[in-house]
Amino acid sequence: MSNHTTVTEFLLLGFSNIRELQILHFVVFLVLYLAALMGNLLTVTAIVLDHRLHTPMYFFLANLAVLDIGCISSVVPKSMANSLSNTTLISYSGCVTQVFFLLFSVGADVFLLTIMAYDRYVAICRPLHYERVMNWRACVQMATSVWVGGVLNSTLHTGNIYTMSFCHGHVVDQFFCEIPRLLKLACSDSYRTENGLIVLSICLLLICLVFTFVSYVQIFKAVLRIPSEQGRRKAFSTCLPHLIVMSVLIGTGSFSYLKPISSSISRLDLISAVAYSVVPPMLNPVIYSMRNKELKASLRKLTRWRLFPKNKKSMSL
């Protein structure tokens, strides 16, 4: 029989144990984390304070920004702290907490991006019905379903992790607690249910990707009928980044969770983990917010008011 042991902590590997590279890892992750935090917080603040941005599209953008803050905050701070203190330890409860918040944020992100694609479909393909279809009640219900769906998806996986027995040590070949790496340590009779849950979750995410793709096919057909070349270019510039980000998010997530568990982690596994947990929260404010003229104007107004309040008051006098 396998030797079942009680695990109280894990060792997080993945990056180099050379001290100079650990400091470099800390600096790089600190820059990425602060950029993501600042960009998403500014986005939420601008949308909340500017009444002109109280529309369905910006409402979903604010929800996306909050989820992105949760996503990157679930893995990066602990990784930075370990690099700075030259340790790899994470408690069992801390590991399970990481799993819960990461899966919740990533899953809810994909669900929300799918709804945002539907919002753009209604706005471009059925503009006369937009206010009726995307009313505030419907928007709140959609956002609530996103958060509830993310919690349910994450709770299923996290609850199953709690029931697992670990027979193969406590060294996790990743810079955060990732389920495939935890399954590598689990006893053979412990991970069958989790493998089924992973396949189910990936299928749901792929359905979201297909739904988004179909929505954008209809959007592109409508855009191609726009007589103005500038109008077509503007529409494509807002649609393509959405498709790219969602494809990268689902593609890298599927690669990490569906590939066979190898004996050791590769650079491609590290890149994939960073691609779905760190990069989207940092780039989403730029792709979805900074490219929008109305939101950019609101952000400029907000930063000027925060940085030069006295000058603004004296000018008004």
Under DSSP, is residue 9 helix (H, G, I), strand (E, B) or coil? strand
Q: Which of 243, 156, 249, 144 is nearest to 200 (CA)?
A: 156
For 243-259, what is the mean pLDDT? Answer: 81
Tell me which residue of 25, 69, 29, 80 sits closest to 45, measured CA to CA. 69
pLDDT over threshold 80, residue 56: yes
DSSP H or E segment with residue 11: strand 9-12
Contact 274/134 with Cβ under 8 angstroms?
A: no
pLDDT reported for residue 249: 85
Q: State residue 67's pLDDT score.
A: 94
In whole angstroms, give the CA distance from residue 3 to residue 5: 6
Nearest-angstrom CA–CA distance, 50 and 182: 44
Report the alpha-carbon distance of residue 62 to residue 80 in Å, rounded: 27
What's the token pair of residue 255? 């690669």
Q: Would you say residue 262 has pLDDT above 70?
A: no
Q: Is the pLDDT of residue 209 over 90?
A: no
Q: Is 104 within 8 Å of 97 (Cβ atoms)?
A: no
Pairing of strands 9-12, 171-172: parallel
pLDDT at 309 over 70: no
Residue 61 CB contacts under 8 Å (≥ 6 apart), including other chains: 43, 47, 116, 288, 289, 295
**What's the pLDDT score for residue 216?**
86
- The string of pLDDT tens digits covering residues 210-241 is 898 888 888 888 888 877 777 677 667 667 77
What average pLDDT does the segment 165-187 reach?
84
Q: What is the pLDDT of residue 247?
A: 82
Residue type for 55, please? T
Which residues neighbour 311 within 8 Å (Cβ) at sequence distance 6 or greater? none
Q: What is residue 146's predicted lDDT score, i.e. its pLDDT?
A: 95
Residue 293 has pLDDT above 60, yes or no: yes
221: burial class by Cβ within 10 Å (0-12, 13-18, 19+)?
A: exposed
**Taking 90 as the threshold, does the pLDDT of residue 138 lie above it?**
yes
Spell out the residues 6+ positions from residue 279 whose beta carbon is closer than 8 angstroms to its own: 248
Q: Are 47 and 293 in contact (CB under 8 A)?
A: no
Confidence of residue 265 (pLDDT cuts 50, 70, 90): low
Q: What is the mean pLDDT of the chain?
A: 83
Q: How confident is the model at residue 191 (pLDDT cuts 50, 70, 90)?
A: low
Domain 9-295's class?
A: mainly alpha
The whole-number average pLDDT for the span 165-171 is 81
Q: With a cut of 60, say whether residue 3 has pLDDT above it.
A: no
Per DSSP, 86 falls in state T
Residue in 284, 307, 292 with CA at minimum distance from that of residue 238: 292
Among the listed ranges 47-56, 105-114, 191-200, which one has the minimum average pLDDT value? 191-200
> Mean pLDDT across the stretch 192-205?
80
273 vs 167 pLDDT, higher one:
273
Lowest-confidence pick of 47-61, 108-122, 231-245, 267-281: 231-245
Number of residues in the chain: 317
